[in-house]
Structure 1
Amino acid sequence: MYPRSIPEDVPVRRFAYGAMVALILALWLVPLLAVMATSLRSFEEVMAGNYWGWPRSFNFIENYTAVFTQTAMARYFLNSLIVTLPSVGGVLVLSTLSGFVLSRYRFRGADLMFALFVGGNFLPAQIMMIPVRDLMVSIGLYDTYYALIVFHVAFQTGFATLFMRNFIAALPDELFQAARAEGASPWQTLWHVVLPLIRPALAALAILTFTFVWNDYFWAIVLTQSDAVKPVTAGLSNLRGEWVSAWNLVAAATIMVAIPPVVMFFLMQRHFIAGLTVGAVKG
């Protein structure tokens, strides 16, 4: 089994393992803690260069209120919701339909179609920058919500189809045979048999897709230009001034941007874990 457990009669190895985990955790948390501490500092303290010391004053309410009153972050948050929620819904619908067909029906070209879904995940996003931007310009969607929604649905559906196809393929064949024996159509089988059983997978996929789309920065700056449609990731760069930047407000806005995916994960944590572990144990 991997990773192998460390025997209790080897205390040195167990201590070294615990120390290594603690060190890696500290290295991962230090930047986050620094951002959180900066979001509590005053502008004067940040300009004085106190980035790592204990804050001399806690401006929690002032900084986090200023994010929405002195900047356009409220608009950027709304833009992100307008882009992310339809994208997640579109990905779930398309990946469920395509995963159901590819896992339960054999037809000519099915393997090629599945290979195209999987192969698209291996393409670096950067090589598609110019073709995708030119396509959006030619069809009149550049610098609109639809440009980001269409792209994210198309780009995320490949991975989501792979996820859903494997999940649906693991369902017992007896359920589908019983549905056919009862005269259920493919739509009825999908609605009454498949969907109730794949709720954990849908929850896990929804969280992953939400996180991918919400945190996207590259395509947010490639496919948008005006502040009216920019999501939060691209909007954060607008908080930097030409000569002086209020890093305490930038840090506070960064923390606010990170909250929605974290909240969504904890709200759906039980379903998320079930969706990732189902099928791991047979028998």
Structure 2
Amino acid sequence: MSQNHFTLSFPLKSPADAKALAEQLPPMMPGLFRAADTIGKVHYSRFTVLSEKTLLFLGDFDGEFGPLMAHLAKLAGPVFDAIFQHVQNPPPGPVAANAEAFAKWTAAHLIHAVNLYTAYPNVTAKEIKALASAADVSGSGELHPFLVILPIKSSLHFIAVQLILRARGRGTTKDLDKVGTPHFAQFVPLEDNQIGFFTVYDGSFDKYIADFTKNIGEVFDLIFKFTKNPPPSPCRKHLQEFVDFAAAANRTPIGFYQAYPGLSVQDIHALVADSKPLSASGR
């Protein structure tokens, strides 16, 4: 088993459809959460309206993409049926009865991340839940999704940023490990020369940004050379400006699913360290 990430792009018919989905999706999220719990392979997921023409669905998961989409089609079909009423060229419906077509459609609308980060790469969602249950540990922490969209100056700069991020892949992983609070993180190329930085993190926003700036600020200093209206650099010397910029660039999540609510990165590391035989046997 291996952890992975998906960013799905749903092309919307009109600005009115984007507005309608922002209102219609929140009440439907309990059904999606129940499906994710039943499948047992999703760590975190969330929707967000990227623009008047695009809805994004993001998830961190175990295993392969195709089978996960087929399971979601069968167990959360009504959620996607509602979405596809607002989407250009949707797959055949109802989704639950056309799982293979849904999986094929989502594969064609999958945006591949430039790089991926996970704080605990060798453990599945099911294993984490089993470890927490065996240790009688319930999460009491505060987790949040961070969905930052960075507008890049031009298509050439857009390519340059992706090359920089790919080149710094391992270095970015080490930097995020030093932060100690991100669970998963991805840089994702988006429409109109934009780069999305998507994370799930522990604790308060201001503390996260402060720790983040200290340990990975240099990456953003590089990106900001190609970003429209960036904050002052270096980030570590202009912390409040970076906090304000990040807060303004952060998109509102719709339906933040957590497989193991409240468990922090450090909680999970401790559970894995104390129960290695169980973690190993799970594979």
Q: Give the TM-score taking structure 2 as reference length.
A: 0.23
More strand by share: 2
Q: Give the TM-score taking structure 1 as reference length.
A: 0.23
Of the two structures, which has the highest relative contact order with CA contacts closer than 8 Å and spacing of 6 or more? 1
More helix by share: 1
